């Protein structure tokens, strides 16, 4: 526990001392308030948006959740740049402990923010239990994005480009709600397709647990593959 | 403490051998120097010993246990001082030390460590504001902050001014007095000569010679003394072994004003070039 507390303390110091990371930490809170107060005004002015409540909530939640993926990936990119990874490898803790902590750190923050976005903004609240399950799926986008950037980006400039690219990819399944059901399946190769489907069905009171299970398994499989890649490429061994 | 026997290593299975069957032993409390130019295999050997590289052939043991059999507990026993600075730049020197120390069971007082290398006044300064020399001093103290038995130091005086280089060398000698076993890789022959009980000359992945600096200097040096006097433009050379019975020498030092007098033992740099045919830098 002492080690874990020290890791969290050090990560928070690193985030608070970096203006970019700090802004990404504050951004989810800003987004929650913006969507909370702006959405009803927008719906009042443009009534057709009423039909797109769930889509707005899906978009808002994913944008909130990925911020923490960005933060942890940039913490790791800094460690790569500053050669600290070399020192971490010779610490008496396993590399898995270190990686899992970082991913858990991203997931917990991300899930919490997504939960507040779903419940507090009340744009499309599917109920507490479903909101909790949704938060888990949204939370899992953070380690996914974090591992992709930290594994494949060589520096922060590349990291930013990866972030934008992956963000776009994760939002792409939103398009599935505008196309026919057969074409919409094309988007099922992306994990957020299952998150959005679960959101849609649970909000409309339809059977939805299958979407949650498939989504969670999809994310966990993807994260596992990415962890192996991360260990191989960043820690130099699998 | 460290036994390396016929150690071989290649980075890729098809690639050439970077380490070609080297053998050496480091006893407890010894300082051992691996000397060689860039690309000779010094850092590779160190990385194998502290498990940053795996898949070696032959044997490499620390405390009588094969390196490949050690788990993460190895890092409680050893400390590593890297050649290049590697710190969290946004944390202070003290925060860096405390962070890394939090993973170990026993630790030295971090402020005392900083004081040892003259960084106590900069303890709360962010490492990003440090010069390279300051970062290197922080690297150095971090290596033994958890009081390990074995230390691996890669170019410990690199980037340091003579005063700080002296401080680091004195600390290394004190660590030896405390019974620490130290493996140093360097291409600073003067440092090796001063610090090491034994040195191995490494070239193209092979140990070309291994002995104490003193023995090497005697073996490869000339047994002569050169005397330069006020009246002679060229130094006069005398055989060292017969010096006490050499009338010409005795007469010279009694009657002439001596400008310089030097025994002609070789320095490690010259010996390295003679043994390996390579320059160090």
Question: What confidence tens digit (pLDDT) does each residue in A142-163 have?
Answer: 999 999 999 999 888 899 999 9
Outline where B150-212 has alpha helix (H): 162-177, 189-195
Residue B232 in this model has a pLDDT that exceeds 50: yes
Q: How far apart are the first and last CA of chain B?
A: 30
Domain range enclosing A134? 2-175+186-233
pLDDT band at A206 (very low <50, low <70, confident <90, very high): confident
Q: Calculate mean pLDDT across residues B177-189.
A: 90
Q: Which residues pair with B237 in a beta bridge?
A: B226
Spatial separation of the C-alpha atoms in residues A214 and A182, rounded to whole Å: 18
Chain A residues whose beta carbon lies within 8 Å of the beta carbon of residue B50:
90
Distance (Å, rounded) from C-alpha A192 to C-alpha A140?
A: 10
Q: Is residue A238 part of a domain?
A: no
Cα A80 to Cα A13: distance, rounded to the nearest angstrom: 18
Q: Is the pLDDT at B274 greater than 80, yes or no?
A: no
pLDDT tens profile A55-90: 999 999 999 999 999 999 999 999 988 889 889 989
pLDDT at A107: 94
Best B80, B83, B88 member to test A by mutation, with max A CBs in 10 Å, is B88
How many angstroms separate the CA atoms of A22 and A185, rounded?
38
Both tokens of B156, joined, read 């410990």
Which B residues in the span 213-242 are in contact with A, Cβ-Cβ below 8 Å? Answer: none
Chain B neighbors of A90, CB-CB under 8 A: 50-52, 75, 78, 80
Partner-chain residue, chosen from A78, A79, A83, that has the shortest CB–CB distance to B84: A83
Contact A6 B102 (CB under 8 A): yes
* Residue A196: predicted pLDDT: 94
Please indicate, yes or no, if residue A78 is contained in any of the structural domains.
Answer: yes
Chain A neighbors of B88, CB-CB under 8 A: 10, 14, 78-79, 82, 84
Please indicate, yes or no, if residue A111 is contained in any of the structural domains: yes
Pull the structure tokens for residue B176. 């030896």
The strands making up B181-186's β-sheet, listed across from edge to edge, are: B78-81, B150-154, B181-186, B31-35, B198-203, B206-211
The token pair at A35 is 């969507």
Q: What's the DSSP call for residue B281? A: -
CB contact under 8 A, B99 and A6: yes
Question: Whole-angstrom Cα distance, residue A117 to residue A34?
Answer: 10
Q: Which residue has tokens 């390996």?
A: B276
B134-140, long-range: CB < 8 A, 24+ apart: B134/B93, B135/B85, B135/B87, B136/B85, B136/B160, B137/B164, B137/B168, B138/B85, B138/B87, B138/B93, B138/B96, B138/B97, B138/B114, B139/B81, B139/B82, B139/B85, B139/B86, B139/B87, B140/B81, B140/B168, B140/B171
Mean pLDDT in residue range B179-207: 89
Q: Is A93 in contact with B89 (Cβ distance < 8 A)? A: no
- Taking only the tens place, the pLDDT of each residue in B59-85 is 999 999 999 899 888 999 999 999 889
The domain spans of chain B are 2-217, 222-264
Class for the domain spanning B2-217? alpha beta
What confidence score (pLDDT) does residue B150 get?
95
User: How many other C-beta atoms lie within 10 A of the C-beta of residue A88?
Assistant: 17
> Where residue B280 falls among pLDDT bands split at 50, 70, 90?
low
Q: What is the pLDDT of residue B187?
A: 81
Answer yes or no: is A8 within a domain. yes
**Is residue B266's pLDDT more than 80?**
no
> Cα(B87)–Cα(B97) distance, rounded to whole angstroms?
9
Please check the confidence at residue B265 and state whether its pLDDT lies above 80.
Answer: no
Give the number of residues written for chain A. 238
Band the pLDDT of B25: cuts 50, 70, 90: very high
Chain A positions in Cβ-Cβ contact with residue B104 (cut-off 8 Å):
92
* Cα–Cα distance measured from residue B11 to residue B18, given in angstroms and rounded to the nearest whole number: 7
Predicted pLDDT of residue A232: 87
A10, A84, A92 ranked by CB distance to B76: nearest: A92
Give CA–CA dist A136/A146, Å, rounded. 16
pLDDT score for A221: 96
Q: Which has the higher per-residue pLDDT, B257 or B27? A: B27
Contacts B90 to A, Cβ<8 Å: 13-14, 17-18, 78
Chain A residues bordering chain B (beta-carbon distance below 8 Å): 2-3, 6, 10, 13-14, 17-18, 78-79, 82-84, 86-87, 89-94, 236-237
CA distance B28 to B74: 16
In a domain, A180, yes or no: no
B81 within 8 A of B140, measured Cβ to Cβ = yes
User: Which pLDDT belongs to residue B159?
Assistant: 81
- The answer to whether B135 faces chain A, any CB pair under 8 Å, is no
Listed by number, the residues of chain B in 67-106 with a beta carbon closer than 8 Å to a beta carbon of chain A are: 72-76, 78, 80, 82, 84-91, 95, 98-100, 102-104
A73 is a domain residue = yes
Give a yes or no: residue A181 inside a domain.
no
d(CA A10, CA A191): 31
Q: Which residue has the higher pLDDT, A97 or A110?
A: A110
In angstroms, the CA A53 to CA A200 distance is: 10
Q: How confident is the model at residue B198 (pLDDT cuts 50, 70, 90)?
A: very high
Take residue A163 and report the two structure tokens written for it: 């972030």
The pLDDT of residue B181 is 95
Instruction: Band the pLDDT of B281: cuts 50, 70, 90.
Output: low
Assess whether pLDDT exceeds 90 at residue A166.
yes
Q: Decide if A82 is inside a domain.
A: yes
What band does A238 get if pLDDT is binned at 50, 70 and 90?
very low
pLDDT reported for residue B255: 84
Per-residue pLDDT averaged across B232-249, rounded? 82
What are the tens digits of pLDDT across the range B100-112? Answer: 999 998 899 999 9
Q: Is the pLDDT of residue A35 over 80?
A: yes
Would the CB atoms of A10 and B85 count as touching at under 8 Å?
A: no
């Amino acid at each position: 526990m002492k080690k874990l507390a020290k890791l969290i303390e050090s990560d928070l110091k690193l985030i608070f001392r970096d203006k970019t990371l700090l802004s990404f930490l504050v951004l989810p809170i800003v987004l929650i308030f913006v969507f909370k107060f702006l959405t009803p005004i927008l719906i009042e002015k443009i009534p057709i948006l009423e039909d797109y409540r769930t889509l707005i909530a899906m978009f808002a939640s994913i944008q909130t959740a990925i911020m923490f993926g960005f933060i942890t990936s940039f913490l790791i990119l800094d460690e790569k740049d500053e050669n600290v990874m070399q020192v971490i490898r010779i610490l008496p803790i396993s590399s898995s402990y270190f990686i899992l902590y970082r991913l858990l750190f991203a997931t917990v923050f991300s899930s919490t923010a997504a939960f507040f976005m779903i419940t507090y903004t009340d744009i499309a609240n599917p109920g507490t239990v479903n909101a909790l399950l949704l938060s888990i799926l949204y939370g899992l986008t953070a380690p996914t994005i974090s591992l992709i950037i930290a594994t494949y980006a060589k520096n922060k400039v590349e990291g930013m480009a990866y972030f934008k690219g992956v963000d776009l990819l994760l939002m792409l399944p939103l398009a599935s709600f505008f196309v026919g059901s057969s074409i919409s399946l094309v988007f099922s190769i992306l994990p957020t397709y299952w998150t959005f489907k679960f959101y849609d069905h649970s909000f409309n009171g339809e059977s939805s647990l299958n979407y949650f299970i498939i989504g969670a398994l999809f994310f966990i499989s993807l994260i596992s593959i990415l962890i192996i890649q991360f260990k191989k490429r960043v820690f130099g061994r699998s | 403490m460290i036994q390396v026997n016929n150690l071989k290593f290649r980075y890729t299975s098809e690639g050439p051998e970077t380490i070609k069957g080297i053998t050496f032993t480091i006893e407890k409390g010894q300082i051992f120097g691996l000397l060689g130019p860039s690309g000779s295999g010094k850092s590779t050997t160190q990385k194998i010993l502290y498990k940053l590289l795996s898949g070696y052939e032959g044997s490499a043991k620390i405390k009588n246990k094969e390196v490949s059999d050690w788990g993460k507990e190895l890092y409680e026993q050893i400390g590593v001082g890297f050649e290049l600075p590697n710190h969290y730049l946004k944390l202070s020197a003290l925060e860096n030390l405390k962070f890394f120390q939090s993973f170990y069971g026993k630790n030295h007082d971090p402020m005392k460590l900083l004081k040892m290398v003259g960084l106590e006044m900069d303890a709360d300064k962010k490492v990003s504001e440090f010069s390279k020399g300051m970062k290197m001093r922080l690297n150095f103290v971090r290596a033994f902050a958890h009081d390990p038995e074995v230390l691996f130091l890669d170019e410990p005086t690199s980037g340091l001014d003579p005063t700080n280089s002296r401080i680091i060398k004195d600390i290394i000698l004190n660590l030896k007095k405390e019974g620490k076993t130290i493996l140093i890789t360097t291409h600073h022959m003067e440092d090796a000569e001063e610090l090491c009980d034994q040195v191995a000359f490494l070239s193209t992945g092979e140990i070309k010679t291994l002995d104490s600096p003193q023995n090497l200097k005697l073996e490869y040096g000339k047994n002569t003394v050169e005397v330069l006097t006020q009246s002679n433009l060229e130094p006069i050379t005398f055989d060292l072994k017969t010096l006490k019975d050499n009338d010409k020498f005795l007469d010279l030092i009694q009657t002439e004003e001596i400008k310089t007098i030097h025994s002609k033992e070789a320095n490690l740099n010259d010996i390295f070039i003679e043994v390996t045919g390579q320059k160090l830098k």
